[in-house]
């Protein structure tokens, strides 16, 4: 019996500048190189070609490198290297071919097409020197540090708005910048598109929009129409579900226009070369440019905020409010949260914008302020600035935590050791000087919030999870674990020694019935008193709980048993026993790692918070 194989979708491999030059300008480049060789203008060439006929073996000649450097929005310099196989026939004889490597510089413009300017320069067999210009990737995306982006943002504002663009807080600065660049702004409601904020059209294009001009998900079933968008237009999408900051969107697209016009132009030229290009499976064809595309968006996002608040304008705002909080006793994250809130209120901007601007200007401590996780702001915190690199964080949501537990065996092993607990957006060392228990789960102590680098894991912001994507900060070990994490009974444990606590635990475990219905009944009475109380704590119906308390053969789902363990706040010693009773043995739980993580690590959270942060798990 034969089966039909799924057709493979093929796509052209994106071409960089070198490939484009090789495909379109090889003859022009070789013509100028030959002319330079015949005039002995190639520095270091050990063959005298003056006034000689030069025969080039084009099949064995190759453009090896075209390293681009940014001059301005549409112009670049490319430092090139050619492997050239040539011969010098004498007296009509067959020439003896030799290979040499010649470096040279080309000037190129990308604006409505690509122009290779005549007059190559700097012919040499030696290595060309580094240039004091922004480097470009082979797809013509600038390679910039944050410091370099700061400088280029200021240069961009000065170029189009003059000195006041840098020194003055401009209420309509985004629209003024777009106008100075020659960009028009158009507003429309993109059809069935509730995510895109804005689109820059460098050339004339088309957009499908809601015919009535209305917005919202209700328009998905309305009529649409296709409209023409002129070139050099920023289209603002009125149909976005979560409205962003329009000024930031406009600055973002202005950043694309100024920094990425050559990138977009090269990819536009790529579309007209489809017959000349190599093809691969569609997913693989675009992979070479994925990093560049991320850089393009990251750089434009930087412009979106840095142009809104240029450094010379923003720094005085921060200094003004820092004087008000500098001497109070709050941790740094709490102080910066206050400053962020005041500037946001003054400028009528989102606090996230102000916080991001602080971070991009080097105030890494702002990472500890106003972190919104799982529907609420967690406590502000502080850390040693040297302990956290760019792209790292101490904050992790519940769903990210359980996903990592599911996918990363090493991480799972660390969590299963009980040495760490999930505490309000952090994974913290499970010791009483760092965490304390509440009805809402674990919370960090005041000292821990001021020193999270000494007691919490930190994570790299990445879409790929692996064992080396988390690291534990410097740990000050103390054998005194938080007693509430180990307590399985409901006795007053104040003053108990560790041995006494363990003895009481064993007594309680021994007294627990081994039939699931009877065990649940006892746990219910000891911990929440009534079935109604358990229903409120689990989100399960009283009728279902009544059946569980009376039927030993009740078929529990993984969602049911997880809700019960959270509602009863069963610590690992108890929950593991209850899981065994309900037929969720360790062998079975291998299929349910994310639920196991919730059971072991989030059992003290309230059920609403856990379900809200893991909707897919509880909707199954």
Contact 618, 611 (CB under 8 A): yes
Q: What is the pLDDT of residue 502?
A: 58
For residue 378, pLDDT over 50 is answered with yes
Domain ranges within the chain, ordered by starting residue? 17-133, 147-306, 311-370, 398-483, 495-619
What's the rounded Cα separation, in Å, for the pair 340 and 348? 12
Higher pLDDT among residues 545 and 7, named by residue:
545
For residue 215, pLDDT over 80 is answered with no
Interval 112-138 mean pLDDT: 93
> Quick one: 510 exposed, middle or buried, by C-beta within 10 A (0-12, 13-18, 19+)?
exposed
pLDDT category of residue 270 using cuts at 50, 70 and 90: low
For residue 233, pLDDT over 50 is answered with yes
Q: What is the pLDDT of residue 494?
A: 47
User: In percent, how much of the chain has pLDDT > 90?
Assistant: 38
Q: Strand pairing of 457-460 and 470-472? A: antiparallel
Q: What is the pLDDT of residue 498?
A: 53
Q: Where are the beta strands (DSSP E) in 177-278?
A: 184-188, 198-201, 205-210, 224-229, 233-237
Query: Closest Cα to residue 425, out of 391, 454, 449, 390?
Result: 449
What's the rounded Cα separation, in Å, for the pair 131 and 606? 59
For residue 304, pLDDT over 70 is answered with yes
Query: Closest Cα to residue 299, out of 136, 76, 107, 110?
Result: 136
Interval 342-360 mean pLDDT: 90
Q: What is the pLDDT of residue 45?
A: 93
Q: What is the pLDDT of residue 414?
A: 86
Q: What is the pLDDT of residue 493?
A: 41
The answer for residues whose C-beta is within 8 angstroms of residue 619's C-beta and 6 or more apart is none
Return the minimum-mean-pLDDT range out of 30-34, 78-82, 109-113, 389-393.
389-393
Contact 400, 465 (CB under 8 A): no
What's the rounded Cα separation, in Å, for the pair 126 and 45? 9
Q: What is the pLDDT of residues 577-593, one digit of tens each?
A: 888 888 888 778 778 88
Interval 585-603 mean pLDDT: 81
- Residue 218 is classified by DSSP as G
Highest-scoring range by mean pLDDT, 135-139, 237-241, 514-518: 135-139
For residue 280, pLDDT over 90 is answered with no
The answer for residues whose C-beta is within 8 angstroms of residue 400's C-beta and 6 or more apart is none
By three-state DSSP, how is residue 201 classified?
Answer: strand
Interval 127-134 mean pLDDT: 92
Q: What is the mean pLDDT of the chain?
A: 83
Instruction: Output the six-digit token pair for 492.
Output: 């007053």
What's the rounded Cα separation, in Å, for the pair 565 and 548? 13
Higher pLDDT among residues 397 and 279, named by residue:
397
Identify the sign of the CA torsion 96, 98, 104, 106.
positive
pLDDT category of residue 620 using cuts at 50, 70 and 90: low
> Quick one: 158 exposed, middle or buried, by C-beta within 10 A (0-12, 13-18, 19+)?
middle
For residue 8, pLDDT over 60 is answered with no
Instruction: Output the six-digit token pair for 33.
Output: 């190189």
Q: Partners of 224 in the beta sheet?
A: 210
Angle at 483 between CA 481 and CA 489, to 5 degrees: 145
Angle at 323 between CA 319 and CA 325, to 5 degrees: 115
Q: Please, how many CA atoms are within 13 Å of residue 175, restricted to the half-sphere of its CB?
A: 7
Interval 539-558 mean pLDDT: 90
For residue 212, pLDDT over 90 is answered with no
What's the rounded Cα separation, in Å, for the pair 97 and 94? 9
The answer for residues whose C-beta is within 8 angstroms of residue 12's C-beta and 6 or more apart is 270, 273, 274, 277, 278, 279, 285
């Amino acid at each position: 019996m034969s089966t039909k194989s799924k057709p493979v979708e093929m796509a052209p491999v994106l071409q960089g500048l070198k490939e484009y030059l090789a495909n379109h300008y090889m003859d022009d480049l070789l013509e100028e190189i030959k002319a330079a060789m015949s005039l002995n203008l190639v520095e270091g060439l050990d063959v005298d070609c003056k006034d000689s006929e030069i025969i080039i073996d084009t099949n064995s000649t190759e453009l090896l490198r075209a390293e681009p450097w940014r001059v301005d929005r549409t112009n670049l310099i490319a430092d090139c290297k050619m492997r050239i196989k040539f011969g010098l026939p004498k007296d009509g004889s067959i020439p003896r071919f030799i290979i040499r490597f010649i470096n040279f510089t080309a000037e190129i413009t990308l604006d409505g097409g690509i122009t290779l300017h005549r007059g190559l320069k700097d012919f040499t067999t030696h290595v060309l020197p580094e240039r004091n210009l922004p480097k470009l990737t082979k797809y013509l995306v600038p390679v910039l540090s944050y410091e370099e982006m700061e400088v280029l943002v200021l240069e961009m504002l000065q170029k189009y708005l003059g000195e006041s663009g840098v020194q003055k807080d401009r209420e309509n600065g985004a629209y003024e910048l777009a106008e100075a660049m020659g960009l028009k702004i158009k507003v429309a409601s993109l059809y069935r598109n509730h995510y895109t904020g804005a689109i820059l059209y460098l050339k004339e294009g088309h957009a499908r929009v809601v015919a009535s001009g209305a917005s919202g998900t209700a328009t998905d079933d309305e009529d649409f129409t296709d409209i023409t968008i002129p070139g050099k237009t920023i289209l603002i999408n009125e149909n976005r579900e979560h409205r962003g900051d329009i000024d930031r969107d406009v600055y973002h697209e202005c950043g694309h226009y100024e920094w990425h016009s050559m990138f977009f132009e090269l990819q536009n030229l790529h579309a007209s070369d489809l017959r000349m290009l190599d093809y691969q499976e569609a997913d693989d064809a675009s992979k070479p440019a994925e990093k560049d595309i991320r850089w393009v968006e990251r750089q434009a996002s930087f412009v979106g905020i840095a142009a809104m608040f240029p450094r010379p304008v923003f720094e005085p705002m921060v200094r003004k409010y820092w004087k008000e909080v500098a001497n109070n006793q709050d941790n740094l994250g709490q102080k910066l949260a206050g400053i962020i809130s005041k500037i946001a209120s003054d400028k009528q901007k989102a606090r996230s914008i102000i916080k991001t601007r602080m971070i991009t200007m080097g105030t890494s401590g702002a990472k500890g302020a106003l972190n919104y996780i799982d529907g609420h702001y967690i406590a502000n915190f502080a850390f040693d600035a040297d302990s956290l690199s760019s792209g790292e964080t101490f904050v992790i949501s519940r769903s990210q935590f359980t996903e990592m537990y599911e996918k990363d065996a090493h991480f799972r092993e660390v969590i299963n050791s009980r040495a760490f607990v999930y505490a309000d957006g952090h994974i913290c060392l499970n010791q009483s000087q760092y965490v304390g228990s509440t009805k809402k789960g674990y919370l960090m102590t005041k000292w821990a919030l001021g020193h999270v680098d000494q007691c919490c894991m930190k994570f790299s912001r990445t879409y790929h999870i692996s064992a080396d994507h988390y690291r534990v900060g410097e740990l000050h070990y103390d054998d005194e674990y938080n007693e509430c994490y180990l307590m399985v009974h409901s006795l007053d444990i104040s003053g108990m020694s560790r041995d006494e606590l363990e003895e009481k635990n064993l007594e309680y475990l021994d007294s627990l019935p081994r039939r699931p219905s009877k065990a649940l009944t006892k746990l219910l009475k000891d911990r929440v008193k009534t079935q109604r109380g358990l229903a409120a704590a689990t989100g399960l119906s009283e009728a279902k709980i009544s059946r569980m308390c009376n039927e030993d053969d009740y078929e529990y789902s993984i969602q049911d048993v997880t809700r019960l363990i959270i509602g009863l706040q069963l610590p690992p010693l108890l929950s593991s026993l209850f899981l065994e009773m309900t037929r969720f043995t360790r062998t079975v739980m291998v299929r349910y790692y994310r639920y196991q993580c919730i059971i072991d690590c989030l059992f003290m959270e309230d059920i609403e918070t856990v379900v809200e942060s893991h909707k897919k798990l509880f909707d199954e």
